[in-house]
Amino acid sequence: MSTILVTGGAGFIGSHTCLVLLEAGHDLVVIDNLCNSSEESLRRVEGLSDKSFVFEKIDLLDQPALEQVFVTHSIDAVIHFAGLKAVGESVEDPLWYWRNNVAGTLNLVDAMNRADVRDLVFSSSSTVYGMPEELPVTEAHPLGPVSPYGKTKLAVEDLLRDVAASKPGWRVALLRYFNPVGAHPSGEIGEDPTGIPNNLMPFVMQVAVGRRERVAVFGSDYDTPDGTGIRDYIHVMDLAEGHLAAVERLERFEGCEAVNLGTGQGYSVLDVVRAASGAAGREIPYELVPRRPGDVAAVWSDPGLAKAKLGWQALRGLDEMCRDSWHFQSRNPHGFAKT
């Protein structure tokens, strides 16, 4: 069993992954500046796993503090979730996104290099593919992100490809997630966005719980069976298990390699609203509104490489995603802060 440094471990995907890593017997050192999360998620991870771990409130931009983590702890591998992820915000303040996501990762990789830690799993995104030219999207699809957020993800991928090529020993998995949703089945941890949710599932859940009036369905004139956008939603527990598989199989990564984490199955916005209504046991009101600028009609993954390389595939379907999202939302109607 190894000691894994998890950056951004208090966040949505990080907290679920921490739980799965602890249950698999790994020791954890978690760092997070809590700019988009709460320490409460980590307390709940400790409760669910009945295990404790080190947590340090550290910003990736604080290079001396980051270096010290590698001096204090004997780290075997790093899973790097910490980053900003709101597309609209990245358009308004690209400098903040480039500094936090790219300079932050530069600091991390620098600290790893000095400490001789060369095993890394990075949170990339399907957004690096930009406009899909063919479906399903394989890892060989051309890269061309549109938003500043997506460009920071591609910049970090490029940085990691260069570093891994510079000397032997680096083993880097770039995990390109599709649309993470859902929550741990206990309803103890889940997605708790600050402000108005940008993403579909948390918005739908806040409507279901009565915090918002209705879902605005962005676009009903796409060239899809029901006219609404299609995405590859993936349960966060599947994603967490994908990280466990990646970090335990880094010996299969010579240098730096990208792997899609998706289900390979696309669902429309109306499919999600319908499944969420079933899970919540109530009609979720919605209205059809114009398309959101920058959105594409349909994207879903080819998850074949993940199966071949990691021995991992997503197991949970849309109903389970909605059931677990609803369980978290109904137990924590105002998220972590006010429960």
Residues annotated as part of the active site:
149
Q: Which tokens belong to 105? A: 């990762």
| Least Å from the CB of residue 323 to ligand NAD | 19
Q: Is 37 in the site for ligand NAD (CB under 6 A)?
A: yes
Q: Is 32 in the site for ligand NAD (CB under 6 A)?
A: yes
Give the separation between CA 163 and CA 125, rounded to whole angstroms.
20
| Least Å from the CB of residue 262 to ligand NAD | 10
Ranked by CB distance to ligand UDP, the top (closest) residue is 229
Of 77-85, 163-171, 270-278, 320-328, the window that binds ligand NAD (rule: CB under 6 A) is 77-85
Q: Which tokens belong to 97? A: 């996104």
List the one residue from 28, 60, 117, 256 that touches ligand NAD (CB under 6 A).
Answer: 60
SS3 per residue for 93-129: CHHHHHHHHHHHHHHHHHHHHHHCCCEEEEEEEHHHH
Of 8-16, 111-119, 131-139, 317-325, the window that binds ligand NAD (rule: CB under 6 A) is 8-16
292 binds, among ligand UDP, ligand NAD, none (CB under 5 to 8 A by kind): ligand UDP
Binding mask 179-218 toward ligand NAD (x if CB under 6 A, else -) reads -x--------------------------------------
Q: Is 332 in the site for ligand NAD (CB under 6 A)?
A: no
**ω into residue 136 within 30 of 0, thus cis?**
yes
Long-range contacts: 161-165, Cβ < 8 Å, 24+? 161/255, 161/256, 163/109, 163/113, 163/256, 164/255, 164/256, 165/255, 165/256
Interface residues with ligand UDP (CB under 6 A) are: 179, 198-200, 203, 215-218, 229, 231, 269, 292, 295
Q: Which is nearer to ligand UDP, 221 or 295 (CB)?
A: 295
Nearest to 19 by CA among 44, 56, 55: 44
Q: Which tokens belong to 320? A: 């389970």
90 binds, among ligand NAD, ligand UDP, none (CB under 5 to 8 A by kind): none
Give the separation between CA 153 and CA 141, rounded to whole angstroms.
16
Instruction: Report the 10 Å Cβ neighbour count for 216.
Output: 16
> Where does this chain bind ligand NAD (CB under 6 A)?
8, 10-14, 32-37, 59-61, 81-85, 100, 104, 123, 125, 177, 180
